[in-house]
A and B are shown apart, each in its own frame.
Chain A
């Protein structure tokens, strides 16, 4: 040791101060600083994970912000009635307005400076109606002469010119298509572009309602364009005609729905699935019977639902839902969602072309940004000075809102709306998605179609996590705890160390290995021998108990494990018993399958054969058996006259088993008489990769950890307690059950919690063996998807900072918190237990 101040000989040196060499002092201080800083930073870094996860997740719930409004006079107030639509382009630098006169105005979106004004649509014949496609800049004009012209409205950027001149608006109209009779003005018009052509719905001045298909073909040789037109007339019944002129006509992209609506809210819904026979299937009231006047009607992005705004300020989303009392097509429009109310009449609804956001503008100048799926209001604003909203638009990139109000003012807001679809209620509660029959918990993050809306409900995943954890704990806990009890109380000490370290080694077995075994080896095996597996579950413990009863007849060294002899023999006998029981179970399985499941277990699960009685019996039997055994154990000890035959215990046991089977049979009969059938709930169709297999293998994965910690807890119980109990004449089982176990319960509890934490977060096993189906299904034989497997599957494909990405981080955060809390409880309990057992 290079201490600078040698300890001896001290007396001679007294009085002479020896200084520690500066190098040593410096090294000491440097080490202290380094270690303190390093240690603190490691700990901070590790705990910083939590902070990072929270930071990533937070924007999900931040909502939308509409800021930095700029407003400017755009048009004279008297001309705002002529506005067909106004919108800004994707960079929000230019905007344009199309007027009913056929004029198009181009302006700077930031300050309203007029840049261009032109007559884009000829003055004669006069345009009488107008429609706009939901995305892609398509427009259609209907004219007084009964023709329709399709076209495209676009912003066109010309490179090289000065900044102001760069963007021009462009309107190209195709040749007129004579849809109505010549001279019969088109009063209402809607259209959708489909792959084959364009589908038009028109209402003419004479009251005719037509659905037309316009197909455009180009002759390859001449380059000449020809237009094919085929029209189907729809019948408007007299009593509806009596309501006056309809105000709205809407058709969807599939072209199978046409809705004609009057200001009063009365509507006629036509089904065109069979093109030759259009049917008026339903006459819903789109004001929901409130007597209000409709202010606007528009299809939601994706055309699966229709939005209505009325004079009472209500905005409703109508879903077509299959109902027994539905229209002729079996469906009826249902007001699935009512969005936040305006204080004044809803004048305008505009939908986003990117997601399920929409804005509503009211007569008092308020603008609300909603999200249809979550039903929440993301942001609100009001134009200044207040004036009715005439037209509104969510900017193409979803980063701005542009409205024009009746006083001719244009207002442009910046919009930050990164995750409109997530709220706590959409993530965890049931959500009524478009096209669904009712509210549902659905996880479906991607799909092939463009109109698809990601459905990000975490509930099925949380449910899957709990299901997998529950079944694996159900399998692991009895085995692990009884193994720990046996190891600490009955197994010879010589074997304990070796056994324990080998079990601990199993704890580090990679879970990918277990997952592979589960999916490719165990799953087919269990599928084939499903009945035998259940029989084995019953036979192995029953066989062990029976053998225990009969053990008095066996050679003493076999059962008196701690009393000399060969202790390994006992374990070997038990292993042999387990193997033998498994063989018996396998042999018995076909017979039981015949008796209980009408010969085919899977068909029985599907509900094709047999009755629910056997399921009730099987579910009740273990409960009856355990309660009977518990009752039996509580009965007072018999008098010690020494004449009791050895067989008595075994006989009682068999009697109990028999009685429990009989009782279960009775309950089953009663249950099936009442009409109970657990099939379809707890049991159901067999899927090869299912919760049962996951339970087995994940149980196997957590057995070592539960076993080790529980065994530590049991071994920590002081021997003095055991000696005292045995000395009082208690048997070793009585000692274990009444003395050791109660003392060790906190430790065992913490072992279970640690196991629980492991199971909840285990990824690879469920990923490989659980089939990955995010369903809310109690069925033991169905697959599942857990939070952890979901992260592993979806995170590599999730776009950074997208909604899915953040939702997956939320799943990670939840897992983190669950396991952290569970482990902390376990750790605190364990520390208290340790302190207590030391004081015993």
Chain B
């Protein structure tokens, strides 16, 4: 198989080189494919696509956005309903046909968001200019022909262009009123409820501490009753205000009709009253947009995605709570993991007597990094939530029992679990960084009379800092991407309140929280309509990958810097 130099041919076994190269090519291809898939889907989600109106052979029309197309083989009964010449054309194409998945929206009217339309049913494809896509606060998207904008039953604007011209400020008005209502409900009424709950708990703990019917208990009861009267009055006033705002918002309505001429209703139970403008988050004439307008909508949706709360069972709206939850958990985890990881590594490398025991411990710690995260999750649930949390509840919150405060999943326990999960990573990285500090520098320091702590603090640690940081960031990246242990120790699909808010004591470590990774799992698998949630999942995925890539890049950058510094430090 060998060729002479004058006759250039492949050397022996060259085909196997090509085979191994294919392994690398496949790995690269898969990585690229994954990234492109996530990027393409994640970035295109928010771009407002055109709406098409398909006229079907039975005369009905379907309006919506084309989500995707595919080739398929129609089944028997579908074919039997067709005229003979169509069936013949199928026979020619071996029974295959094209079909489109149309996002029709109007879940309240159709009971479904999506519909497959085979091409052989379509007689005409049209892009009417007067169709609007409307994102609602409930029931998902509405899609239809815009007829009029109505105030108190009188048309303010009729026809798509007129509506487009006048809807902006009106929409802003109703939206701001809606925000105000929500603010009142959540903060003011919520605050009152919290205070009522607190006074109930005061009574309970007085009863627990001093006994049922003791003077303290009765006094607490009296105080609570006085407070309750005051609060009830306040509660009533706020409710009046909310009612007033609601009434204002009920005056503006948007008349939109689906292709069959049915008005999109305010509620499925009230088919005759058109959509309220206050139910609308965003509305645009999808086929009548300039590129600039489209870009504006695109950016606006990104902003909404990043800065607002989810709605529609997490398939619409934003992911702010999940983003915040991920961030806060990662920070808390880092706070827990950094000192302990570094101290453990310092002990192993600088203080412990090197021997079989230490190297065994080192291997064990190293291997803990490979123990499945779900095992840490189980441990976290058993030890932190039920063990420590249950203990804290019995000691500090006996009045709330049996409903747990700390004795169940929460952000504190989730962070500690992840800290435990990532502590081996930090220990290993720190040890490596410490080992990389040349022995000569330590010896130099000792020779100058420095104590061991002085050497560690002034000589070793500064050199090792980039390495330690690298380990810490890698640990953060791992922690931010973990989902399995969190599912057990405190992540929820929809957290009623952030772990950080304006109410005393501001940071609520016992609260459950939302997380980007779990959000992906939840929306992709647990929601009513995984097809509707898919774009959101891709965007969330993109965000999570970007976050972790950013952390990793930082680590790589630090490592590169460390190497450079090292080269100069070698003497």
A83 close to chain B: CB less than 8 A: no
Chain A residues with CB below 8 A from B34, complex form: 509, 517, 700
Residues of B within 8 A of A480 (CB): 23, 27
Tell me whether B51 is interfacial, beta carbon within 8 Å. no
A39 and B343: CB pair below 8 A? yes
Q: Which of A456-512 contact B (CB under 8 A)?
A: 478-483, 485-487, 489-491, 499, 501-503, 505-506, 508-512
Name the one of B376, B453, B477 contacting A28, with C-beta atoms under 8 angstroms: B453
Are B375 and A816 in contact (CB-based, < 8 A)? Answer: yes
Q: Is B334 an interface residue (CB 8 A)?
A: no
CB of A579 within 8 A of CB of B29, answer yes
Per-residue A-contact encoding for B521-554, CB less than 8 Å = 1, 0 else = 1001100001000100100010011001100100
Residues of A within 8 A of B456 (CB): 31
A253 within 8 A of B: no
Sort chain A's interface into a size bin. Answer: 35 or more
For B340, B371, B378, which residue has the most chain A Cβ atoms within 10 angstroms? B378
Segment among A114-122, A422-430, A446-454, A551-559 that sits at the interface with chain B: A551-559
8 A Cβ contacts from B444-474 to A: 445, 447-454, 456-458, 474
A763 at the interface (CB under 8 A from B): yes
Would you call B372 and A508 a contact (CB within 8 A)? no
Does A254 belong to the interface (CB within 8 Å)? no
Write the nearest CB–CB distance from B47 to chain A, whole angstroms. 19
Q: A780 to nearest B CB, angstroms?
A: 20
Bound-state Cα–Cα, A390 to B1, Å: 92
Instruction: Name the contact of A513 in the complex, choosing from B11, B20, B520, B552 (C-beta under 8 A).
Output: B520
Contact B12 A479 (CB under 8 A): no
Supposing A35-B351, A517-B37, A574-B25 touch, asked if A763 and B477 sit within 8 A by C-beta, the answer is no
Contact status B378-A812, CB under 8 Å = yes
Q: Is the CB of B487 within 8 A of A796?
A: yes
Contact B23 A481 (CB under 8 A): yes
Total A-B Cβ pairs within 8 A: 364
Q: In angstroms, how far is the closest chain A Cβ from the Cβ of B512?
A: 11
Interface string of A56-80 (1 = CB under 8 A from B): 1000000000000000000000000
Q: Which of B9, B457, B474 counts the most chain A CB atoms within 10 A?
A: B9
A545 interface residue (CB < 8 Å to B): yes
Q: Is the CB of B27 within 8 A of A483?
A: yes
B423:A503 contact, CB within 8 angstroms: no
Residue on A nearest B478 in the bound complex, by CB = A508
CB distance from A288 to the nearest CB of B (A): 44
Which of the 9-residue segments A89-97, A139-147, A370-378, A728-736 touches chain B? Answer: A728-736
A727 within 8 Å of B (CB atoms): no
**B22 and A574 form a contact (CB under 8 A):** yes
Q: How far is the CB of A152 from chain B (nearest CB, A)?
A: 31
Q: Is the interface of B mostly helix, strand, loop or mixed?
A: helix
Interface centre among B8, B10, B452, B541 (most CB of A within 10 A): B10
B31–A737 CB distance below 8 A: no
Interface residues of A in 796-815 (CB under 8 A from B): 796, 800, 808-809, 812-813, 815
The answer to whether A658 has its CB under 8 Å from any CB of chain B is no
- A153 contacts the other chain (Cβ, under 8 Å)? no
B540 to chain A: closest CB distance in Å?
Answer: 9
The reply to whether the CB of B206 lies closer than 8 angstroms to some CB of chain A is no
- Which B residues from 472 to 498 make CB contacts under 8 A with A? 474, 477-478, 480-484, 487-488
A812 pairs with B18, CB closer than 8 A: no
Cβ 8 A contact of B525, one of A39, A768, A796: A768
9-residue interface stretch from B187-195, B287-295, B359-367: B359-367
Residues of A within 8 A of B13 (CB): 731, 733-734, 737
B370 touches A819 (CB 8 A): yes
Q: Are A505 and B524 in contact (CB under 8 A)?
A: no
**Residues on B with beta carbons closer than 8 Å to the beta carbon of A763:** 372-374, 483-484
**CB contact between A575 and one of B25, B346, B518 (< 8 Å): that residue:** B25
The answer to the question of B308 belonging to the interface, with a C-beta cut-off of 8 Å to chain A, is no
Given the complex of chains A and B, what is the CA–CA distance between A247 and B401 in angstroms?
Answer: 53
- Residue A749 at the chain B interface, CB threshold 8 Å: no
Within 615-642 of A, Cβ neighbours of B (below 8 Å) are at 637-638, 640, 642
**Nearest 9 pairs of A and B residues by beta carbon:** A39-B347, A761-B372, A548-B15, A733-B13, A510-B481, A482-B23, A548-B18, A552-B9, A574-B25
Residues of B within 8 A of A (CB): 1-4, 7-31, 34, 37-38, 339-341, 343-348, 350-352, 361, 363-368, 370-379, 381-383, 386, 420, 423-424, 427, 445, 447-454, 456-458, 474, 477-478, 480-484, 487-488, 517-518, 520-521, 524-525, 530, 534, 537, 541, 544-545, 548-549, 552, 556
Contact surface of A with B, Cβ cutoff 8 Å: 1-7, 20, 24-25, 27-28, 30-32, 34-36, 38-40, 42-43, 45-47, 49, 52-53, 56, 478-483, 485-487, 489-491, 499, 501-503, 505-506, 508-513, 515-517, 519-521, 540-541, 544-549, 551-552, 556, 559, 561, 570-571, 574-575, 577-579, 637-638, 640, 642, 644, 646, 649, 653, 700, 703, 707, 731-734, 736-737, 754, 757-758, 760-764, 767-768, 788, 791-792, 795-796, 800, 808-809, 812-813, 815-816, 819-820, 822-824, 827-828, 831
In the complex, 13 of the A-B residue pairs with CB atoms within 8 angstroms, ordered by the A residue number, are A3-B449, A7-B449, A42-B341, A486-B17, A513-B481, A519-B524, A571-B24, A571-B25, A575-B28, A578-B25, A764-B483, A768-B521, A768-B525
